[in-house]
Amino acid sequence: MTKWVYGFGNGKADGRADMRNLLGGKGANLAEMSVLGLPVPPGFTITTEVCSYYYDHGRSYPEELDGQMHDALAQIEGIVGARFGDKANPLLVSVRSGARASMPGMMDTVLNLGLNDETVGGLAARTGDERFAYDSYRRFIQMYGDVVLGVEHYRFEDELEGIKRERGVSLDTELTAADLKTLVDRYKGVVQTDLGQPFPQDPKDQLSGAIGAVFGSWMNQRAITYRRLHDIPASWGTAVTVQAMVFGNMGDDCATGVAFTRNPSTGENAFYGEYLINAQGEDVVAGIRTPQNLTKVSREQAGSDLPSMEESMPETFRQLCDIRDRLESHYRDMQDIEFTVQQGRLYILQTRNGKRTAAAALRIAVELAEAGVIDQREAVRRVEPQALDQLLHPTLDPKAQREVIAKGLPASPGAASGKIVLTADEAETLAQMGDKVILVREETSPEDIHGMHAAAGILTTRGGMTSHAAVVARGMGRACVSGAGELRIDPKAKTVSVGGVTLKAGDVITIDGAAGEVMKGEVPTVQPELSGDFATLMGWADAVRRMKIRTNAETPLDARTARKFGAEGIGLCRTEHMFFEADRITAVRRMIVAETVDARKAALAEILPMQRKDFVELFTIMKGLPVTIRLLDPPLHEFLPRTEEDLEEVARIAGVDLGRVRHRTAQLHESNPMLGHRGCRLGISFPEIYEMQARAIFEAVAEVKAASGETVTPEIMIPLAFSKKELDILKAAIVAVAAAVEAEKGIKLDFLVGTMIELPRAALRAHELAETAEFFSFGTNDLTQTTFGISRDDAGTFLPDYTRAGILEQDPFVTLDRDGVGELVSLAAERGRKTRSGIKLGICGEHGGDPASIHFCESVGLDYVSCSPYRVPIARLAAAQAALRAEVKAE
């Protein structure tokens, strides 16, 4: 018989921490903590296999589930000494989701389940607190009504506000037991009116309703969006954990809180967290009340006068510190712990590896390795490459003028400027149009996830460091300031005001998520200093990495930045990018519109010295490291004169009449420039262009040799070829230029001639291309475009529909499509190697800086990946992780 239900409690458990695939992260860790003897309220977990069964069988359950749940519930009853549905002594439970990967706030939760018109009396009598019992009951109806029954949330909120108004009070806590009783009746009335049936009174029905809702929430829109953003497959499913309730809201000797074993923003090895006295779990995360600090030190640092838990509950705090140490050394990683104190007794409700900023991830991994808790390879595995992005990007220029208009909590570091938007949808819409936006909300909820992702930064007026906004922003690497309480948002007027300042939606603000500051206008930024931990971890990564990391760079600035970040050469110098500057573009245009070889040669003669100088600079910066120079590949439309002024300028410089230039421009116009006269097709039509470039490269090699003695071995790359014949013709021309320069300069040149693989035909005929080409570099931007038949320039208008509809899991221009494009890459690698064993293979499309694609590159055994300068550290780390994973596979 399949085991669908795993119990835990009283120092025992059916499951363990390594069963997270089956029990979800939450269920597995509760089982583990129970076995460790930590104070975990007893419960049981319904496995993720039930979720799969549920969706595979038309939302129904396996037959044995009921019986297994019944037994597991009986065990909880035995441990707690209360019975589910018992009038006098009722057991109440929480029902929560828990997937394999944590998805904070994405799915549904129901608390206080088991209350009804009768058991509420039992709860009141047992606790001697009628107010508490009715408060729990009204919370339950509200949550269950919203989550399970689908009654609109505001219907309950309206009733709550109504009774407060009638009683003339402003806080929930000022309502009496009698008020809450009335409220319960009104809530039940809302359910009856909206659904035409009463609120379910049978606890068993309540339980199966809640379990169904949790499984159902796996497929809600926000969970689907979250999974798409975090690459979590829908097939994993969620587990459901049913657990005996403990109460943090039974009085002033009760509390609820969230703690991190180390600081999740900085990584400092200091206990860190927040708690609320007399509150229920969700109050902390939801950001409804601003929570208090856990430790005295952090309270003092925050300048708060509300007592820390260390001061208000010293004995319980000591127990919590002890648990902190035990959990961290057990899991060997920073933990995020949820706890509740019920009448002075501490309970742990959850532990998981805590989300952290990139800076914290680095510091924690390095410090744990240095303390011998984990080894260096494990430290390398622990840091998510993409997260490094947060560290590499600019922070506010300390010297810049700034007008701070409000302060909040430093919830997620980084500086961001952008237009104010007040809703997640607007954030998404404006971002899609290319605007940078700051999402400003009272607080965020999981419904805002798409807008948070689209925004450059997030600003909230309520909520603490562990509020939804703060947690999600840190995970996404967005700058975030939370709880900026002085700000007033007026959604109707679409304004944000503070003091005498009123800003409108669309006005630009800047937030500094490291300082918690909000500024008017755009504040200039500077490059960050990278910490010692960064260099240490990068060093460890470099020690395990097999693939080399090169950069795509053509300007000295980019080349220098990339070197600083550890690039080991240039994998793609796009020579056409060297011509965009104002003083060059006219010469290039003149070359392009030239109608005779002589006119073209005259234009090229002007360009030659500029190109030579460019290459001298690059070779000098790269100091003997390999440099791959791609011969001209201009999508013509980017270069043709556009305006009347451009046309006149070209005519004037070329000394021909305007009509001819206009005519030639019209002649060169293409319907599909991406598939037009680009790449080596240009070199085939106009050999003198590539000859000039080859000459510039070789003369630069000679110049650098003469100046510094450095020997440069340039790798000359032919773009967009589909046949060996193209390569033969062009290589012969390059070799002839080399011979001429050798004779002129009296030197011996060393160089390689290779090609890009950017077309399916090139991949298929790779064995022939490799007869001429001495290296391949996969141009996966074009290879993706041509494999899918989707124009790179036009994909943006319809590709989102494809990812939304689940036809494509990811944008194939961002993450390499392994099944199609990937197959062409591995096939070309294999065919190329057959002809020329050991042929040098690299990738220089955008995918060269994408961690998932880098894993693929490792699996095909590429020699290097090449990416933009800012992605070099990301690629170094991703390549190291890929090598570690390949090692594990090989074992």
- The C-alpha atoms of residue 2 and residue 5 are separated, in whole angstroms, by 9
Instruction: Based on the shown chain and the rule CB under 6 A, indicate whether residue 779 belongs to the binding site for ligand PEP.
Output: yes
Q: Which of 51, 50, 45 is nearest to 33 (CA)?
A: 45
How many other CB atoms are there within 10 angstroms of residue 368's CB atom?
A: 21
Nearer to ligand PEP, 25 or 845 (CB): 845
Q: Smallest distance from the beta carbon of 721 to Mg ion, in angstroms? A: 11
Q: Which of 10, 445, 711, 781 binds ligand PEP (CB under 6 A)?
A: 781
How many other CB atoms are there within 10 angstroms of residue 21's CB atom?
A: 15
18 is in an annotated binding site: no
- The C-alpha atoms of residue 338 and residue 39 are separated, in whole angstroms, by 12
Q: What is the DSSP letter of 530?
A: P
Containing 542, the helix (H) or strand (E) segment is helix 532-544
Q: Smallest distance from the beta carbon of 622 to Mg ion, in angstroms? A: 22
Q: Which two tokens stand for residue 208?
A: 């199966």
| Residue with tokens 């077309």, as numbered in its chain | 759
Instruction: Based on the shown chain and the rule CB under 6 A, indicate whether residue 844 belongs to the binding site for ligand PEP.
Output: yes
Give the interface segment with ligand PEP, choosing from 231-239, 260-268, 637-645, 778-786 (CB under 6 A).
Answer: 778-786
Q: Smallest distance from the beta carbon of 783 to Mg ion, in angstroms? A: 8
- The C-alpha atoms of residue 687 and residue 737 are separated, in whole angstroms, by 12
Which of positions 198-257 make contact with ligand PEP (CB under 6 A)? none
Give the interface segment with Mg ion, choosing from 207-215, 721-729, 752-760, 868-876 (CB under 5 A).
Answer: 752-760
Q: Smallest distance from the beta carbon of 497 to ligand PEP, in angstroms? A: 46
Query: Which of Mg ion, ligand PEP, none lies near 845, with the C-beta cut-off 5 to 8 A by kind?
Result: ligand PEP
| Residue with tokens 């499984």, as numbered in its chain | 215
Largest CA distance in the chain: 104
780 is in an annotated binding site: yes
| Residue with tokens 């300069």, as numbered in its chain | 745
Nearer to ligand PEP, 22 or 865 (CB): 865
Q: What is the DSSP letter of 575?
A: G
In the shown chain, the binding pattern of residues 790 to 829 toward Mg ion, with x for contact by CB under 5 A and - for none, equals ----------------------------------------
305 is in an annotated binding site: no
Give the interface segment with ligand PEP, choosing from 129-137, 176-184, 779-787, 874-882 (CB under 6 A).
Answer: 779-787
Instruction: Based on the shown chain and the rule CB under 6 A, indicate whether residue 761 belongs to the binding site for ligand PEP.
Output: no
Give the interface segment with ligand PEP, choosing from 221-229, 523-531, 579-587, 774-782 (CB under 6 A).
Answer: 774-782
Nearer to ligand PEP, 475 or 822 (CB): 822
Q: Which of 512, 446, 502 is nearest to 480 (CA)?
A: 512
Give the interface segment with ligand PEP, choosing from 403-411, 441-449, 466-474, 776-784 (CB under 6 A).
Answer: 776-784
Q: Which residues pair with 570 in a beta bridge?
A: 551, 627
Query: Which of Mg ion, ligand PEP, none lies near 336, with the C-beta cut-off 5 to 8 A by kind?
Result: none
Instruction: Based on the shown chain and the rule CB under 6 A, indicate whether residue 673 belongs to the binding site for ligand PEP.
Output: no
Angle CA 795–800–805, to nearest 5 = 130
Query: Which of Mg ion, ligand PEP, none lies near 574, with the C-beta cut-off 5 to 8 A by kind?
Result: ligand PEP
Q: Which of 114, 209, 457, 845 binds ligand PEP (CB under 6 A)?
A: 845
Q: Smallest distance from the beta carbon of 677 to Mg ion, in angstroms? A: 14
Nearer to Mg ion, 47 or 552 (CB): 552
Report the SS3 class of residue 845: coil
Which of positions 613-652 make contact with ligand PEP (CB under 6 A)? 633
Instruction: Based on the shown chain and the rule CB under 6 A, indicate whether residue 16 belongs to the binding site for ligand PEP.
Output: no
- The C-alpha atoms of residue 105 and residue 96 are separated, in whole angstroms, by 10
Nearer to ligand PEP, 494 or 574 (CB): 574
269 is in an annotated binding site: no
Q: Which of 809, 722, 720, 803 is nearest to 761 (CA)?
A: 722
139 is in an annotated binding site: no
Q: Smallest distance from the beta carbon of 836 to Mg ion, in angstroms? A: 22
Which amino acid belongs to residue 145?
A: G
Instruction: Based on the shown chain and the rule CB under 6 A, indicate whether residue 520 belongs to the binding site for ligand PEP.
Output: no
Query: Which of ligand PEP, Mg ion, none lies near 780, with the C-beta cut-off 5 to 8 A by kind?
Result: ligand PEP
Q: How many residues bind Mg ion (CB under 5 A)?
A: 3
Transcribe 682-705 into DSSP letters.
HHHH-HHHHHHHHHHHHHHHHHHH
For 683-812, where are the E strands, in sequence order?
715-718, 752-757, 775-778
Q: Which of 603, 609, 582 is nearest to 656 (CA)?
A: 603
- The C-alpha atoms of residue 485 and residue 407 are separated, in whole angstroms, by 8
Instruction: Based on the shown chain and the rule CB under 6 A, indicate whether residue 683 belongs to the binding site for ligand PEP.
Output: no
Q: Tell me if 692 sits within 8 A of 603, measured CB to CB.
A: no
- The C-alpha atoms of residue 170 and residue 175 are separated, in whole angstroms, by 9
In the shown chain, the binding pattern of residues 535 to 574 toward ligand PEP, with x for contact by CB under 6 A and - for none, equals -------------------------------------x-x
Report the SS3 class of residue 517: strand
Which amino acid belongs to residue 685?
A: S
In the shown chain, the binding pattern of residues 338 to 377 toward ligand PEP, with x for contact by CB under 6 A and - for none, equals ----------------------------------------
Q: Which two tokens stand for residue 715?
A: 């790798």
Give the interface segment with ligand PEP, choosing from 384-392, 741-749, 780-788, 806-814 (CB under 6 A).
Answer: 780-788
Instruction: Based on the shown chain and the rule CB under 5 A, indicate whether residue 782 belongs to the binding site for Mg ion.
Output: yes
Report the SS3 class of residue 12: strand
Q: Smallest distance from the beta carbon of 689 to Mg ion, in angstroms? A: 17
Give the interface segment with ligand PEP, choosing from 247-255, 775-783, 811-819, 870-878 (CB under 6 A).
Answer: 775-783
Give the interface segment with Mg ion, choosing from 447-455, 563-571, 597-605, 757-765 (CB under 5 A).
Answer: 757-765
Q: Which two tokens stand for residue 270?
A: 């200091």
Nearer to ligand PEP, 356 or 765 (CB): 765
Q: Is the dihedral of CA 303, 308, 314, 317 positive or negative?
A: negative
Instruction: Based on the shown chain and the rule CB under 5 A, indicate whether residue 209 belongs to the binding site for Mg ion.
Output: no
Q: Tell me if 628 sits within 8 A of 715, measured CB to CB.
A: yes
Query: In the complex, which residue's CB is closest to Mg ion?
Result: 782
- The C-alpha atoms of residue 369 and residue 852 are separated, in whole angstroms, by 25
Q: Smallest distance from the beta carbon of 779 to ligand PEP, in angstroms? A: 3
574 is in an annotated binding site: yes
| Residue with tokens 């300007």, as numbered in its chain | 555
Nearer to ligand PEP, 845 or 851 (CB): 845
Instruction: Based on the shown chain and the rule CB under 5 A, indicate whether residue 779 belongs to the binding site for Mg ion.
Output: yes
Instruction: Based on the shown chain and the rule CB under 6 A, indicate whether residue 327 belongs to the binding site for ligand PEP.
Output: no
Q: Tell me if 570 sits within 8 A of 551, measured CB to CB.
A: yes
Q: Which of 156, 237, 158 is nearest to 199 (CA)?
A: 156
Nearer to ligand PEP, 602 or 827 (CB): 827
Instruction: Based on the shown chain and the rule CB under 6 A, indicate whether residue 865 belongs to the binding site for ligand PEP.
Output: no
Q: Is the dihedral of CA 503, 504, 506, 512 positive or negative?
A: positive
781 is in an annotated binding site: yes
- The C-alpha atoms of residue 486 and residue 880 are separated, in whole angstroms, by 46
Give me the active site residues, please.
Answer: 468, 844
**Burial degree of 55 (CB within 10 A; 0-12, 13-18, 19+):** middle
Q: How many residues bind ligand PEP (CB under 6 A)?
A: 10
Instruction: Based on the shown chain and the rule CB under 6 A, indicate whether residue 758 belongs to the binding site for ligand PEP.
Output: yes
Instruction: Based on the shown chain and the rule CB under 6 A, indicate whether residue 853 belongs to the binding site for ligand PEP.
Output: no
The backbone region for 655, taken as left when phi is positive above 0, alpha when psi lies in -120 to 50, beta otherwise, is left
- Report the binding-site residues: 574, 630, 758, 779-782
Residues in contact with ligand PEP by the rule CB under 6 A: 572, 574, 633, 758, 779-782, 844-845
Residues in contact with Mg ion by the rule CB under 5 A: 758, 779, 782
- Report the binding-site residues for substrate: 574, 630, 758, 779-782
